[in-house]
């Protein structure tokens, strides 16, 4: 089996750590591996039975590498992604830097795999909350054509990074111990035992950037600008796993049983839908898993062609690292990386 040279930019962040775990778990065919960092240069990290020293991002650091897995933020990606491409490396970028660039495919392998065919060196990984939603909705769209999506998300703190996880845990310990909150730096308000209806900054239209990402990315991935999408995104004190309440209106009538049958056959989807026995998708059960879990599938009785559902997935795995690695695997399967 041919092996590939892989470079990870941002290898020590929440997503970078997951990159490393998943590459090993899936036995990705790696010859050389390189970690690039900003604050970790010179530090040594384990990767399977290898010791890898984190290196600086400098001219020529991508030469000889086939695949770049980027998760170091949009500003860094904007600065170095094209340089990496110029040095012969295909970049799969997890930031928002390239997602809406018309020259850059935005890919979820279960949904729009053929979009990788027109890449010019950079492929964008979608937003975590968008990924899990479109994995569940695209098969339904193909069967009954979705006209409108209303989504409310309940997003884990890990979506903000390791510092947010730490802050939530510290605040929780403070409250349980009867102490005043000792740390509130990552979020504008206390996150422990709370829900914040703000993810990212607010825009002039009253929506947050996160909410508009879901609107715009969904249309691009689904290849249908006519779909109406509105989103409300909320941060909750959950460590791993984003949950979403999703309401769709379809052009053609489709029943909950038909939706279940469609999703049982859909790649990357697991149905957990037996409410009478308390069985429905939970963030604690999705954490550490690869699939998108769907349940609470029921008719919206307020409109003729409406369906409600509850969608849960691990935001760091399928919502970020796994999806990027699946893109790399897809490109190898297509013979696009020599």
DSSP state for residue 189 in the 8-state scheme: S
CA distance 189 to 234: 13
Query: Is 61 noted as a catalytic residue in this protein?
Result: no
Query: Is 242 noted as a catalytic residue in this protein?
Result: yes
CA distance 138 to 131: 11
Distance between first and last Cα of the chain: 12
44, 145, 166, 198, 251 from 10: Cα distances, Å: 14, 39, 19, 25, 43
CA distance 326 to 250: 29
Catalytic residue among 119, 141, 168, 242: 242
Q: Is 188 exposed, middle or buried (0-12, 13-18, 19+ CB in 10 A)?
A: exposed
CA distance 232 to 196: 11
CA distance 329 to 109: 9
Catalytic residue among 128, 168, 184, 189: 128
CA distance 30 to 238: 34
- Known catalytic residues? 128, 242
């Amino acid at each position: 089996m041919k092996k590939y040279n892989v470079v990870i930019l941002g290898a020590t962040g929440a997503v970078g750590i997951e990159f490393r775990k998943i590459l090993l778990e899936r036995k990705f065919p790696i010859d050389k591996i390189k970690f690039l960092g900003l604050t970790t240069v010179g530090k040594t990290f384990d990767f399977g039975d290898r010791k890898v020293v984190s290196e600086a991002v400098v001219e020529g650091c991508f030469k000889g590498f086939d695949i770049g897995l980027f998760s170091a933020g949009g500003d860094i990606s904007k600065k170095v992604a094209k340089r990496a491409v110029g040095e012969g490396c295909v970049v799969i970028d997890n930031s928002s830097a390239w997602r809406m660039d018309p020259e850059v495919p935005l890919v979820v392998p279960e949904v729009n795999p053929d979009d990788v065919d027109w890449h010019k060196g950079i492929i964008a990984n979608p937003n975590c909350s968008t990924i899990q939603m479109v994995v569940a909705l695209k098969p339904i769209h193909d069967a009954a054509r979705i006209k409108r999506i209303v989504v409310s998300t309940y997003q884990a703190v890990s979506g903000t990074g390791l510092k947010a996880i730490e802050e939530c845990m510290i605040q929780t310990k403070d409250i349980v111990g009867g102490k005043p909150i000792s740390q509130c730096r990552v979020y504008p308000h206390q996150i422990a035992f709370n829900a914040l209806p703000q993810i990212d900054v607010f825009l002039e239209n009253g929506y947050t950037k996160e909410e508009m990402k879901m609107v715009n990315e969904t249309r691009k991935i689904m290849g249908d600008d006519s779909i109406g999408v509105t989103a409300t995104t909320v941060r909750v004190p959950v460590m791993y796993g984003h949950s979403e309440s999703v309401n769709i209106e379809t052009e053609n009538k489709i029943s909950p049983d038909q939706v279940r049958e469609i999703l049982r056959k859909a790649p990357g989807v697991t149905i957990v839908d037996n409410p009478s026995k308390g069985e429905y998708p939970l963030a604690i059960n999705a954490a550490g898993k690869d699939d998108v879990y769907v349940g609470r599938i029921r008719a919206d009785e307020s409109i003729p062609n409406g369906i409600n559902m509850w969608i849960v997935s691990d935001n760091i795995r399928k919502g970020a690292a796994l999806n990027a690695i699946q893109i790399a695997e897809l490109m190898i399967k297509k013979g696009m990386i020599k």
